[in-house]
Structure 1
Amino acid sequence: MPREARQISKTGVYHVMWRGSAGQDIFHDDVDRIKYLEILLKYKDNTNIEIYGWCLMSNHVHILLREGDETLSATMKRIGISYVAYYNWKYQVRGHLFQDRFKSENVETISYLMTVVRYIHQNPVKAGLIDEVANWKWSSCDEYYGGRVYPRGLLNDDFILKYFSDNQEISRNHFREFNERPNQDACLDEPIYKRRCSDEEARIEIQKILREIPIPQLKTLPRESRNELLREIKQIDGLSLRQAARILGVSASLVSKV
């Protein structure tokens, strides 16, 4: 069955979400996250897209952007190819990293623009990783609050802040109140479920078991060695089978069978 064509946004603004293949992690450390943001900046400059918000989670990324000199699909393909090349080189692995097709939704109104940027910033809070949105280092939130995020020049916060006030200080204060307001937002039909064991906690415990073996390389080990480690990993307190499979980049059925 052919894929349904993406609907073109009349404003050129989209909310994009891209997950790791089979839910696997796409970022394993801060260096990975920095590299992804640097690639995003590179293609912002090369294709004239405008970035209004982002949040990097362990196994997916959210971006709020306006299309530039080429189609959204073309730009996202360039970003994906660049990051996958880096990832495969660093971890000495092959194969798919991202899901074949990123998700996107049109942002046609000011009201929904505000909803999306708040949803993106609150992702780590609703996932139970932090208590306050400003404490997540890997989102655009802190720059909206007047701080500095890396890399400089990636975010265009004026586009959204201008809707709150012409006075920058007042605008940032009003934005902060809105951004932290409790809500039931579920953009892109992606409800967030709080885990018993957070991904960050799970990765730390998994790495203790793997010792010097990088997490992405577990699936390349000989079957007997791999399964022995998987049996140990399954004993981690609060870790679900699906969560383990996603972090390790293997199927949930493999984890459940060992």
Structure 2
Amino acid sequence: MPRTSRKRSETGFYHVILRGNGKQNLFETDKDRAAFMEAARSSFSRDSVTLIAWCLMDNHVHLIIDDPLDRISTAIQRVTSTYAMYFNHTFGHSGHVFEGRYGSVPIIDDEQLLAAVKYVHNNPLKGMGITPDRYPWCSYSEYVSGVSRFADIDTLLELLGGTQAFVMFSINDNVTGYRPAFKKYADEDERATLAQQVFESFGCTATGVKELPKKTRNQVLKALCECGLTVKHVQRLTGIGEWTIRNAAGRINKR
């Protein structure tokens, strides 16, 4: 079956994720992490791709990139092949290191760019309970210190108004949530936060959705589904029937 073409970003910005094949660890030591970042630095430089933000977890990597010349595929392939050679040589491994195709989400505007960067920096908090300021293998410290190692921090700092504004943005819980489109559904621990953000944006509560005018009610139901909640979860939250939710979300033929 032929692969579908990737969605191209009109802004040039993308959120990229790379996963270890079969969920295997990509990094065992800090030396491995440093090798990956050097591969990224070299590869992106050759393809005129700018790294805006990054985070290395044990078995996956998040990157926010600016790709004005539409070279994302070549650049990412160069990064992964370079690191895979290092990984296989270091660990006596053979076969694929990374899982299939990389995931990419086109970023459409400044608001989504900021939210994506915050999402990336918060990965250690979500995955390991480590706050970004205590995690050395993400770009958060570059932004806070104002000293760039791998990321181009100027774009975001100019957008926000400096390092202090970046810190305030990062700790602000009222900033709109972000869930990358390569995740079909939100994780269990994300659902309550995402749902609450939707309810607050419409000025309602979960149990009050059914009392809203039909048009507004359907907008809320659609927003809940689009932010990553399953129909069944929305049904449990709101007490509204499954088919009403499916109809509002445009999922009338989906189970």
Return the TM-score normalized by structure 2: 0.68
1:69 deviates by 4.6
* Residue pairs, 1:1-258, within 5 angstroms: 1-67=1-67, 69=69, 71-130=71-130, 132-146=131-145, 148=147, 152=149, 154-165=150-161, 171-182=162-173, 184-190=177-183, 191=186
The residue aligned with 1:217 is: none
Amino acid of the residue matched to residue 172 of structure 1? T
Q: Distance in 2 between matches of 1:119 and 1:155?
A: 16
Q: Distance in 1 between matches of 2:63 and 2:29?
A: 19
Amino acid of the residue matched to residue 185 of structure 1? Y
Q: Distance in 1 between matches of 2:81 and 2:91?
A: 15
1:145 deviates by 0.4
Q: Distance in 2 between matches of 1:113 and 1:129?
A: 24
1:188 deviates by 3.2
1:127 deviates by 1.2
1:193 deviates by 6.5
Closer/same/farther in 2, CA of residues 174 and 192 from structure 1, 3 Å limit: farther
Closer/same/farther in 2, CA of residues 133 and 192 from structure 1, 3 Å limit: farther
Q: Distance in 2 between matches of 1:173 and 1:157?
A: 13
Amino acid of the residue matched to residue 96 of structure 1? H
1:189 deviates by 4.6
Q: Tell me if structure 1 keeps the 8 A contact 2:121–2:140.
A: yes
1:50-91 Cα distance to aligned partner (Å, 9 max, x none): 111000000000000011555211111111100000000000
Structure with larger RCO (C-alpha < 8 A, sep 6+):
1
Q: Distance in 2 between matches of 1:158 and 1:193?
A: 35
Give the paired residue count: 185
- Structure 2 unaligned segments of length 5 or more: list them: 190-255
1:157 deviates by 0.8
The residue aligned with 2:230 is: none
The share of aligned pairs that are identical, in percent, is: 29
1:107-150 Cα distance to aligned partner (Å, 9 max, x none): 110000000000000000011341x211110000001001556x
Query: Rg bigger for which structure?
Result: 2
Amino acid of the residue matched to residue 153 of structure 2? D
Q: Tell me if structure 2 keeps the 8 A contact 1:39–1:83.
A: yes
> Secondary structure of 1:137's partner?
coil
Q: CA RMSD in A?
A: 1.8
Q: Distance in 2 between matches of 1:187 and 1:136?
A: 22
Q: Tell me if structure 1 keeps the 8 A contact 2:112–2:178.
A: no
Q: Distance in 2 between matches of 1:188 and 1:142?
A: 26
Which region of structure 1 is more displaced relative to structure 2, 72-81 or 171-180? Answer: 171-180
> Secondary structure of 2:8's partner?
coil
The residue aligned with 1:253 is: none
